[in-house]
Structure 1
Amino acid sequence: MKFIKRLLILAIICILLGVGTIFGFYVYVKPELPDVATLKDVELQTPMQVYSADGKLISQFGEKRRIPVTYNDIPQDLIDALIATEDSRFYDHPGIDPIGITRAAIVVAMSGSAKQGASTITQQLARNFFLSNEKKIMRKIKEIFIAIHIEQLLTKQEIMELYANKIFLGYRSYGFGAAARVYFGKDLQDLTLSELATLAGMPKAPSTMNPIYSVERATNRRNVVLKRMLDEGYVTRSEYEQAKNEPIVARYHGAEIELNAPYMAEMARAWAVEQYGEDVYESGMKVYTTLDSRLQNAAEKAAINNLLSYDERHGYRGAVATLWKDGAEPWDAEKIAKHLKQQPTYGELNPAVVIKVDGKAAEVELQSGETATLPWDGMKWARRYRTDTRQGTAPKQAADILAVGEQIWVRKVDDAWQLSQVPDANTAMVAMSPENGAIKALVGGFNFVHSKFNRATQSVRQVGSAIKPFIYSAALDQGMTLATLINDAPINKWDSSQGTAWRPKNSPPTYIGPTRARIGLATSKNVMAVRVLRKVGLDETIDFLTRFGFKHEELPRSETLALGAGSLTPMQVAQGFSVFANGGYYLKPYFISKVEDPFGQLLFTAHPQTICRENCDSNTSKLSSDNLMEEENLLDETAAMENEPEFAPQVISEQNAFLTREMMEANIWGGGDWRQGTGWNGTGWRAQKPLNRRDIGGKTGTTNDSKDAWYSGFAPGLVATVWVGFDDHSRELGRTSRNANLDNSQISGAEAGAKTAQPAWIDFMVDALVDVPAQRKVVPSDIVKVRIDRDTGLLTRKNDASSMFEFFEKGTEPTDYVSSAASSGNIYESEGEELF
């Protein structure tokens, strides 16, 4: 009894010492323990996501991929698998498992190493939220105390929910919702028992036990999880056997991007960081842009296909690389596949290796490991590229183009593979609403992976003849009419400082003498534009152009301005054309419509400028036409963040905008009557048949030596600008000869706005306007329509092919009638007096 008494006293002393030691440790570490109450309002770090206006995911930014799920969203099989594997007494212990700790201690004492863990799910949660993974005694002690605090604060369901969302599971995935997407491409609720067990086994070693890193290790670990579930009674023997025998099929699944708009995504990312700081990457913020997914898809397709068409008609520049030469031992399929997996893809362009060339076809191995056939129709375009102005002869068989062992680019066109190549030139397209400035579609280049430079907003290029509508608008503002005669004749201007004469020329260099202004703009007559500029005055013209948002420093103080020497971005050009489309109002483009937090609460709503046409207080506009030139950033979103919308200033009259649109409509539809011999076409005539509607208009733009090609135009509710050129400003777009292998629809000759840029604009508008009914012309007040003589622009009493109706602003219409002598054409016999 004395021994038992002493043993009992010793036990009590040990217990008191143990409790005292634990209490001492608690007092010691208490100042360093975090406030676990923060878990009640924890904000899980989720990536920022960027969407289109209609809710299509464009991109997400952030190191951690996480898809938060509620406890009720977690499949019961996953909960059972985690409890069976990680913490079988989860529902019974107070945060730590004494039995598990004792068992682990015995294992350590017997083996000398920690072969068995003792951390509960609550302890793992404490470590994931508040501690590091360093293997130190003090860290473990803190973990125990934090776990006990967590159990006192949260329910078991809340603990499981936080654990399921916080745990790292490899490949930047945090939480089981994200892991289900990353490894299996499914929602968590759609996973099989085998797949859930695979995920449940990964917390032990997420970087090495995931099925992408090692299917074998993942399978072994899954089977351990399934066996634990069987032993704990969570699954039946048949369920266990079925899940165990199911092969693991996994691969990396990136974010499911629903809309390809990487340049806009980058603009939205930069804007969000500027507004909210670097924390946006883990904020779960949802940024909604103004993009229309249907229009964005149409713009991407039109711009890239047009660029590839331009590049291919200039010839094939050859293979990317030669992996083995003729006579050498060919690579096997496995070696080819390994090589191709290391190569990038650029949108529709996929790397491939030629493995057979036979007659007018070739076989290639694709990056996927599949074998595909390149038919003759998919490669007959491939004349050899010589220079930007010269191509080789048309090939006659596949061997003239390809050789076995070459690495090439291919793309799929109408379900058939076609030879392609990464274009040397580049492109940009911007489409916006002229009614509020919302950017509806934006293409910043051929491919964001290939080049992140955004040509839509950052590339400042000479605009060529696309500047002419603004110059003619300035002349209309000073009283010119659509019927005003301007002399289409050569100009010689002596420059005494240079000792040379400036001789601007038409393209093509043909001249027809005195010509009405409508025809001059529609047919893009260079010398007529120079004379219009002279009539208005250089300084006056530059001042007038700043009304459209252009800056003084972008506009050269030279008569070359009339030929497009000014340099603008595609975004600025589109914004300028919007003024004509909306009746004369300056609207700053904007691209962010709203921002929400992870719970759907609104953080920001855009309040873009609005157009007020009736009963407007002119003082409500914060931006007047007098200070447009002071604007620093065309895409500044600051104004859109005001609580109240502002009225857009009217910078030209509704009548001026209407008359300028009339000239641009003639750019597409021309005028006259072909049956009567008076018909003529504008430079944009190629849009007539594909679009077949009269409520459209636009203007071509080509710079000297064809270094830049443009087309800008409008349609109901939409303005779009297309640019094509080389990033190297010194390189010309060149010219092409006809390819004997292609049909008569091919483009040939010198590249220019109508051939190089307008096809993309046409293709885009065909898709954009498919459900938009044609609109009847709305004639503003103070616009009159009178019959004039085609040759002189004067009034006429004739009702035949020599006459036509023309629009005039009231008070500017002609008052004199044409004489019989004038209508005969003899009125312009004298060359001594120029018109304009």
Structure 2
Amino acid sequence: MSKWLKYLISVFALGSVLGVGAIAGVYFYIRPELPSVEILKDVKLQTPMQIYTRDGRLISQYGVKRRIPVTLEEVPQQLIDAILATEDSRFYEHPGIDPIGIIRAAFNLMVTGRLSQGGSTLTMQLARGFFLTRDKTFVRKLKEIFIAWHMERVLTKDEILSLYINKVELGHRSFGFGAAAQVYYGKSLDELNLAQIATLAGLPKAPSTMNPISRPERSVDRRRVVLGRMLSEKFITRAQYESAANEPVSAALHGAEIELDAPYLADVIYNEMVSIYGKEEAETGGYKVYATADYESQKAAIAALRQNLHDYDERHGYRGIIGQLWRKSPPSEEADDGSFIPDMAWSEQKIVSHLKGFSNYGPLRPAVVTNVFEQAITVIDKSGAFHRIEWDGLAWARPYITDTRQGTPPETASDILQEGALIWIRQRDEDDRWQLSQFPEASSALVALDPNNGAVRALVGGYSFYQSQFNRATQAKRQVGSNIKPFLYSAALEQGHTIASVINDAPINQWDRSSGRAWRPANSPAVYDGPIRMRIALGKSKNVVAVRLLRAVGIDNVRNHLRKFGFQMEDLPRDESLSLGSASITPIEVANGFVTIANGGYAVSPHFIERIEGQYGEYVWHANPLTACPVCEQTEGLTAQLGQPEVGDNPNNDEHLNPLPPQAEQVVSSQNMFLVSEMLRTAITGSGSVRNKTYWRGTGWRANSLIRRKDLAGKTGTTNDSKDTWFSGFAPDLVATVWVGFDDPSRSLGRTAAYPYLINNNPHKTTIIGNAMQGGEDGAKAAQPAWIRYMQKALADSPEMSKAIPENIVSVRIDRGTGKLTGRTDHTSKFEYFITGTEPVEWVAEHEIIDETQDEEQKNALEDEIF
């Protein structure tokens, strides 16, 4: 007996030695493929990039994998219990490899002949998830064992558990339990109940086939398994088990909690991040990118642009329905495409099912007309909700004929629609009532910048990013029309003109030998005032005066001067059409040009990102842009003494460590820019006296509705045939540019016939901003209303401020007609600003003074409006 015992011991010992040797051999064979300690200590989770407004509101998320990293302290204990009870109840006891589990898996293999049980610990699952595939092979299993053992040597149990909680795949592109809670329930982990926790804890086994969205029945079965394991491990009571096991499935697919959909802005920031970090790193590095735009400012810009396009669209008429789903009569009618139109109304269920195939675009919702009354309709939308649209939401829909013609106004709802019509509807901002609508064919862009440092405060590149991803704010080069004139006038000031210089506003008729025809630039409207001061000429946007100024200054001098405002020389034509705005420039470039006027002549550049944080909120980068900072020039010594640390040396962004921003270059004098701003201010306010017939109104007069007479300045812009329309303007701390036109540059914005309903019968429209316009479209009608709406919101909390007068600016009394010095103090004179040394020295002669005072009876009948 002892002989056999010795034999067995020898065999066992030999087997053990051979087994250990084999294991050691395999270990050294695959050792080069094992991850390094550094990799395990610095595991990088693939977390999507999130983009926020400056004040922390999520506007977009990029990256295929959804992940919300959480620390172990942020994970509810009940979820930890559920994970350990289900996946690895001896997790805190074994060294990464559970012998009991391996023996169980080996026994199952011998009995069934299949690798149906892996015996994997939680650490082994993590090893497989990070470094291996799911292939069920012996080599992969051995690698998994060694990596798990290796991981347990370099990481603590809590670190391993934390990695598992953040790494594991849980279905529907969610990775980690933080993301899964959001994807399946739209909640954070601490908001989940026991049933939801158990559902998530059961997902690692088969996330694609056991998740509660794709296979709710299997998820319920898996949930019971998890709850049973928790009950066995005494983590929950029998009562808790019964309650959670019988709860109905409450999961639904949730996206990221976007608080403001601003895709044009987000797309610009995304592309900038990709250019810096590369696509893979940008999308998976977990960066939290904070835009320079505030939530309220961006929201106001989106709303202003969309409402303005709807107003333009409604002025030009209704282009018709999307389609006719059924028609009461005549029966058996064919649709335009030859298909049969039934005469039986669809069921609600069928309508809703059909509508779900249509996307929403901004405020636009697809709907179907269910009833038509005398002057009202009822519709059903794709949520199944019914809405009643009254006559004030229908009557605008006179037929569209062309961009310049509209049809006969409707008198009843049946003149517009029939039951079964598939249409667009939208909810009005002013009263939340629903109205008939349509997708605007015209396009638009709005850009708002901080004139102090170029920070983009709002950017909208079109009506809907999901309909057209072309960003008109940054990509569309369009002719700028009269928006070029302030820069031309600045060049004239640089060459010795003053804002009191008199230019002849008279028709130009010049023969062009090269073309064999005369060039006749005309004012719009074709009104000519004769000799006119530059302030009035810019305020009224006189075209022929702009041409005469270009000739006086010289084309090359003007083009070189325009470069100072950031315009590219290749975009500036070298001919006299430049004075009328033939240059093609993007809206953001136009806005940045006006920034230089607004900030006193400093060259700053637009930027979109204020700061970047890592996935755990750690500091990565903060913008430190060139800033229009006159005070910086006076305190250069202070900067030199304190030093100018790099951004990376200032992780807490402590202002005292970086006392002064980098100084922007002053490219035009503050005096020049002050005078241009003055001219642009009166383009809005006008000047003179109605009673004394000296009052004139600028092209931007509609902005007076903002009731800020001291600090608003702006300029309209309209190209030939109204193919491009603009309005650019500013307050002390905000510059905004709006462009409106068609993406097809050959298509004109047209004109509209008078429509009394839009003016008189609709309390929700106004004659200043809204769709109550008539005549030809231009910058004041098509673009400025969006600027007004945006500024109304953006400046709501900003007090009105008078512009500071720079040094070396003097004010003298001049004659209104000639711009010469005058001793009169009546309505024929006014005070005007000049750069010191350029003020007039010649006195007006008595016979040169023009007095257009009305007789006393008429004069007293008019309201005195002196500005």
TM-score scaled by structure 2? 0.88
Give the Cα separation in 1 of the matches to 2:117 and 2:371: 57
Match of 2:427 in 1: 412
Give the Cα separation in 1 of the matches to 2:636 and 2:743: 43
Give the Cα separation in 1 of the matches to 2:434 and 2:304: 19
Match of 2:503 in 1: 486
SS of residue matched to 1:248: coil
Q: Mapping of 1:89-128 within 5 angstroms?
A: 89-128=90-129
Q: Does 1:773 align with 2:796?
A: no
Match of 2:354 in 1: 339
Residues 95, 619 of structure 1: alpha-carbon distance in 2 compared, 3 angstrom cutoff? closer
What is the CA distance between 1:466 and its match in structure 2? 0.8
Task: Report if aligned partners of 1:394, 1:740 keep a CA contact under 8 Å in 2.
Answer: no
Task: Report if aligned partners of 1:37, 1:153 keep a CA contact under 8 Å in 2.
Answer: no
Match of 1:373 in 2: 388
Cα deviations by residue, 1:290-349 (Å, 9 ceiling, x for unpaired)? 222222122111112111211222122222233444452444333333333332222222
Match of 1:829 in 2: none
Residues 644, 481 of structure 1: alpha-carbon distance in 2 compared, 3 angstrom cutoff? closer
Task: Report if aligned partners of 1:66, 1:174 keep a CA contact under 8 Å in 2.
Answer: yes
Q: Does 1:754 align with 2:771?
A: no
Q: Mapping of 1:721-740 within 5 angstroms?
A: 721-740=737-756
Match of 2:574 in 1: 557
Alpha-carbon RMSD across the aligned residues, in angstroms, is 2.4
SS of residue matched to 1:127: helix
SS of residue matched to 1:674: coil
Match of 2:363 in 1: 348
| Greater shift in the superposed pair: 78-87 or 97-106 | 97-106
| Greater shift in the superposed pair: 142-151 or 181-190 | 142-151
Give the Cα separation in 1 of the matches to 2:28 and 2:523: 90
Q: Mapping of 1:454-603 within 5 angstroms?
A: 454-603=471-620
Give the Cα separation in 2 of the matches to 1:173 and 1:530: 62
Q: Does 1:695 align with 2:711?
A: yes
| Greater shift in the superposed pair: 728-737 or 497-506 | 497-506
Match of 2:685 in 1: 669
2:254 maps to a residue whose letter is H
| Greater shift in the superposed pair: 529-538 or 171-180 | 529-538
Q: Does 1:285 align with 2:300?
A: no
Give the Cα separation in 2 of the matches to 1:755 and 1:39: 63
Residues 30, 732 of structure 1: alpha-carbon distance in 2 compared, 3 angstrom cutoff? same
Give the Cα separation in 2 of the matches to 1:538 and 1:152: 76
Q: Mapping of 1:43-442 within 5 angstroms?
A: 43-278=44-279, 279-326=281-328, 327=331, 328=342, 329-413=344-428, 414-442=431-459
What is the CA distance between 1:274 and its match in structure 2? 1.6
2:54 maps to a residue whose letter is A
Give the Cα separation in 2 of the matches to 1:715 and 1:798: 33
Task: Report if aligned partners of 1:312, 1:381 keep a CA contact under 8 Å in 2.
Answer: yes
SS of residue matched to 2:139: helix
Task: Report if aligned partners of 2:83, 2:201 keep a CA contact under 8 Å in 1.
Answer: yes
Give the Cα separation in 2 of the matches to 1:98 and 1:584: 76
Match of 2:860 in 1: none
What is the CA distance between 1:426 and its match in structure 2? 0.8
Q: Which runs of 5+ in 1 are unaligned?
A: 621-641, 827-836
Residues 359, 19 of structure 1: alpha-carbon distance in 2 compared, 3 angstrom cutoff? farther
Task: Report if aligned partners of 1:361, 1:375 keep a CA contact under 8 Å in 2.
Answer: yes
2:522 maps to a residue whose letter is K
What is the CA distance between 1:283 and its match in structure 2? 1.1
Give the Cα separation in 1 of the matches to 2:510 and 2:620: 59
What is the CA distance between 1:23 and its match in structure 2? 3.4
Q: Which runs of 5+ in 2 are unaligned?
A: 332-341, 638-657, 761-766, 853-867
Task: Report if aligned partners of 2:732, 2:803 keep a CA contact under 8 Å in 1.
Answer: no
Match of 1:639 in 2: none
What is the CA distance between 1:16 and its match in structure 2? 4.6
1:572 maps to a residue whose letter is E
What is the CA distance between 1:177 and its match in structure 2? 0.4
Give the Cα separation in 1 of the matches to 2:345 and 2:293: 48
Q: Does 1:708 align with 2:721?
A: no
Cα deviations by residue, 1:124-164 (Å, 9 ceiling, x for unpaired)? 11100110112222111211222222233333322211111
Q: Does 1:789 align with 2:791?
A: no
Identity over aligned residues, as a percent? 56
SS of residue matched to 1:595: strand
Residues 748, 136 of structure 1: alpha-carbon distance in 2 compared, 3 angstrom cutoff? same
Match of 2:339 in 1: none
What is the CA distance between 1:559 and its match in structure 2? 1.2
Task: Report if aligned partners of 2:828, 2:851 keep a CA contact under 8 Å in 1.
Answer: no
| Greater shift in the superposed pair: 261-270 or 98-107 | 98-107
SS of residue matched to 2:759: coil
2:734 maps to a residue whose letter is L
Cα deviations by residue, 1:399-439 (Å, 9 ceiling, x for unpaired)? 22233333322222132222222211111111111111211
Residues 643, 730 of structure 1: alpha-carbon distance in 2 compared, 3 angstrom cutoff? farther
Residues 535, 354 of structure 1: alpha-carbon distance in 2 compared, 3 angstrom cutoff? same
What is the CA distance between 1:510 and its match in structure 2? 1.4
What is the CA distance between 1:714 and its match in structure 2? 1.1
Task: Report if aligned partners of 1:355, 1:365 keep a CA contact under 8 Å in 2.
Answer: yes
Task: Report if aligned partners of 2:452, 2:629 keep a CA contact under 8 Å in 1.
Answer: no
Residues 362, 782 of structure 1: alpha-carbon distance in 2 compared, 3 angstrom cutoff? same
SS of residue matched to 2:470: coil
Match of 1:764 in 2: 790
SS of residue matched to 1:677: coil
Task: Report if aligned partners of 1:286, 1:595 keep a CA contact under 8 Å in 2.
Answer: yes
1:431 maps to a residue whose letter is A
1:264 maps to a residue whose letter is L
SS of residue matched to 1:257: coil
Give the Cα separation in 1 of the matches to 2:547 and 2:37: 75
Give the Cα separation in 1 of the matches to 2:259 and 2:506: 54
Give the Cα separation in 1 of the matches to 2:219 and 2:391: 46
Q: Of the candidates 656, 677, 685, which is equivalent to residue 672 of structure 2?
A: 656
Cα deviations by residue, 1:188-224 (Å, 9 ceiling, x for unpaired)? 1110001111111111111122122132222222122
SS of residue matched to 1:676: coil
What is the CA distance between 1:10 and its match in structure 2? 5.0
1:505 maps to a residue whose letter is A
1:188 maps to a residue whose letter is L
SS of residue matched to 1:675: coil
| Greater shift in the superposed pair: 652-661 or 281-290 | 281-290
Task: Report if aligned partners of 2:632, 2:663 keep a CA contact under 8 Å in 1.
Answer: no
Residues 221, 583 of structure 1: alpha-carbon distance in 2 compared, 3 angstrom cutoff? same
Task: Report if aligned partners of 2:822, 2:843 keep a CA contact under 8 Å in 1.
Answer: yes
What is the CA distance between 1:122 and its match in structure 2? 1.4
